[in-house]
A and B are shown apart, each in its own frame.
Chain A
Amino acid sequence: MGGPYKLLRTRSAAAVSAALALGLVAGCGGGSDSGTGGGRSKDGKVTITMGLFGVMGFKETDLLDRYMKENPNVTIKAEVAGDEQTYYTALQTHLAAGSGLKDIQGIEIGRAKELVDTQADKFVDLSDVPGTDHFLPWKLNQVTTSKGKVIGLGTDIGPMAVCYRKDLFKQAGLPTDREEVGRLWEGDWSKFVDVGKEFKSSSKDDKVAYIDSASGLFNAMVYGASKQYYNEKGDLIYQDNPVVKEAWATASEAATSGLTAKLRQFQPGWDPGLANGTFAATVCPAWMLAHISEKSGAANKGKWDVAKAPKGANWGGSFLGVLEKSPVKEEAKKLVAWLTAPEQQEYLFKKLGNFPSSAKALKSPGVAEAKSEYFSGAPIGKIFGTAAQEIPDKQVLGRKDGTIKDIFSQGLTLIESQNQSPDKAWATTDKRIEKATG
């Protein structure tokens, strides 16, 4: 008479297996997810999470630790993604899914417009945070919606200069003094290419290229204009924008004349190129100095110097935004205000070279009179400060700026490394942008 028991056993086994399957499916839904990982415990302790990219400096220096020390009830957990594109893709996915977000998210300038246009309701309005009137006038405009909502506070900006190797310039018979070097190409990027031709013809080592990549040059030229790929109405204008056309022509001339090392910035090959001196100069936004000094290493200290770029331009710069979903909004707002305050911006500049977006910090002696020991004592505060003033006050951003920038970089690679004609490469680039924006 084992019947009933057997029955019971099969029955419960069936129930268990069905329940298990349902549980498996339900478990993946993650219904209990509060969203940002941050929160408040019963004893009043607050946890704030941050999602950052590149070298924004907060985690790399002791700033977060300092804040936690001054506010013992706050714990900050910051996650840093190296590559901005990877970071932004994840951020997009998280915003769409409504989970996996942090309390505070970094926003790169190339994505600012897209977030302002499409995701502004997911960010907290920071326009009413006290003590945030110290930024450069154009900085916060870039993350302000048409209704006046500010979705982020500015961290750094990227005024540009030219970083060059004195020893490599010297062997090619070029001047090495930063004033003289700056005068070589003053006022016009095409002069910068001419200097490159001179470098190439008189360089004793034909393995050393003049610059690393044509795309760095292209970016510097484009980002010096107030209108780049879009107009104020949000229409694409790159095809007819003389600035873009001229930048393309100049950059492709540098590429076809063999002035570049055919490297891609921030990709493999570029770092060892910095360390081994396979190129003599690179157009460098202020935030790149930290990268150059780190990758070139102690052996090359004092060989690098910084000269003024032909024209002022701004490449990059970031913001910190607070998510509406965050359970600790007020604390996160306070943290963001503190991290972007003039004192902290000044500190980050001294530590890493991230150039302040705060007008107040720019005027402080710590920034204005700063010199970089690594770059042969170059007065980087003055050089980048002057460049920052040349940046047009009004910069028209577009939704897909970041993507378009990447597509143009690839288009120049077609000329540099695949020996395609500039016209053919432009046609390909044009088609790709159409795909990416359509």
Chain B
Amino acid sequence: MVTSGSVPHADGTQNIPAGAVKAPGVSGDGDRPRQGRRNLLHRLDIKGAPYAFIAPFFIVFAAFGFYPLLYTFWISLHHVELASMNLMEWRGFGNYTELWQDDRFWNALSNTFTIGVLSTVPQLLMALGLAHLLNYRLRGSTFFRVAALTPYATSVGAAALVFTMLFERDFGLINWMLSLVGIDNVDWENNKWAAQSAISVIVIWRWTGYNALLYLAAMQAIPRDRYEAAAIDGASRWQQFTKVTVPGIRSTILFTIVLSTIGATQLFGEPLIFGQGPNGVTGGADNQYQTLGLLLYEEGWKNYQMGRAATVAWAMFLLLILIFALQRVLKRFTSRKS
């Protein structure tokens, strides 16, 4: 009898004589074919089951991750219009060289970068401060923690729409408040830096609480005695924060930076809704806040040029890989130095 699944992998295959598999044809013994089948099943089980268990991930990844990736690349080598997807005209790397020479691409890239910095840096700093405050023993701490997460639970659309109304030029709340302190009507949409700041505000509002909770969770994992030891050594509150708290949550900070960078690269919904209608698609009349995501959308769903849209998508993908590689090189470089 076959014992059970506890038989080591290599043994299982070695123990079975080669003839056993072919048994039905070889001998007339009634018991041997059954055993042979069992052996086969067993081997299949040992060898096949693991694949079946990991299949869900791979099938789903292949269908929704890998295949679209490859197909997007295939499309990016062609001239294709949305209205006639079956008519594909081979262009080779023409779309890529064209994109490289296109001002709009570099403009979108720099916008993505500046909006990314404008939104990520204040966001993470504020989240750190917020987490620090929430880490204190305070009354109703659960309430505050939930409250910090509420913006995250709001949909991008709703948040962006409300902020767009707040930032409206003639009758918006923010301009009204600014007028009280003597600042004249700011054209939030048409002024480049005003528009980028306004979009950053939407991003910051939505994500600060989420990052704060991540930091808070990490902070609570720092043993209390480190603070006690620091206090005995005469460290001030600020020193405790910089010398104990921040090093203690370093990996979490790194994680949020990676997450925010990815988010910033893909920034799309906020500027689209902020611009409203045709201006949203192009990121402003002068493309003053057009991100890479919006450029992709403009090419695909305003110009209906799927080939060029796919090219932008692949450019974004390559960009992320480039950032990742740079980060690895940098890390190796710094670690070797230390």
Contacts and interface: CB of A to CB of B under 8 A. Distances in A.
A25 B63 contact: yes
A414 B286 contact: yes
A308 to B, nearest CB: 29
A22 B302 CA distance: 35
B270 interface: no
A83 B285 contact: no
B190 A410 contact: no
A92 B302 contact: no
A272 B170 contact: yes
Interface in B81-140: 81-85, 104
A17 B53 contact: yes
B220 interface: no
A92 B82 CA distance: 7
Interface in A63-100: 83, 85, 89, 92-93, 95-96
Contacts of A435: 104, 303
Interface stretch (B148-156, B198-206, B273-281): B273-281
B277 A264 contact: yes
B165 A417 contact: no
Contact of B276 (A18, A93, A267, A417): A267
Given A83-B277, A92-B304, A406-B278, A268 B164 contact: yes
Interface stretch (B54-62, B243-251, B321-329): B54-62
A266 B281 CA distance: 15
Interface in A410-438: 410-411, 413-414, 417-418, 420, 428, 435-436, 438
A17 B302 contact: no
Nearest to B304: A92
Contacts of B173: none
B198 to A, nearest CB: 13
A11 B45 contact: yes
Interface residues of B, number: 46
A188 to B, nearest CB: 28
A276 interface: yes
Contacts of A438: 305
Contacts of B42: 7
Contacts of A267: 276-277, 279
A365 interface: no
A15 to B, nearest CB: 7
Given A17-B52, A436-B302, A92 B279 contact: no
B48 A14 contact: yes
A359 interface: no
B37 interface: no
Main secondary structure of the interface of B (DSSP, over half): mixed
A85 B278 contact: yes
A21 B279 contact: no
B5 A6 contact: yes
B285 A7 contact: no
A18 B56 contact: yes
Contacts, number: 121
Interface residues on A, range: 35 or more
Contact of B85 (A21, A96, A409): A96
B49 interface: yes
A119 interface: yes
A266 B85 CA distance: 32
B82 to A, nearest CB: 5
B290 to A, nearest CB: 12
Contacts of B282: 410
A410 B282 CA distance: 9
Given A85-B277, A413-B190, A417-B190, A17 B55 contact: yes
Contacts of B281: 85
B170 A21 contact: no
B228 interface: no
B43 interface: no
A85 B304 CA distance: 12
Nearest to B59: A21
Contacts of A276: 170-171
A270 to B, nearest CB: 10
A418 B190 contact: yes
A158 B211 CA distance: 52
30 contacts: A3-B2, A3-B4, A6-B4, A7-B45, A10-B5, A10-B49, A15-B52, A18-B59, A21-B59, A22-B59, A24-B56, A25-B63, A89-B301, A89-B302, A96-B83, A118-B84, A264-B276, A267-B277, A269-B171, A272-B168, A403-B303, A409-B278, A410-B278, A410-B279, A411-B285, A417-B187, A417-B189, A417-B285, A418-B190, A420-B286
Interface of A: 2-3, 6-7, 10-11, 13-15, 17-18, 20-22, 24-25, 28, 83, 85, 89, 92-93, 95-96, 114, 118-119, 262, 264, 266-269, 272-273, 276, 278, 403, 406, 409-411, 413-414, 417-418, 420, 428, 435-436, 438
Interface of B: 2-5, 42, 45, 48-49, 52-53, 55-57, 59-60, 63-64, 81-85, 104, 164-165, 168-171, 187, 189-190, 276-279, 281-282, 285-286, 288, 301-305
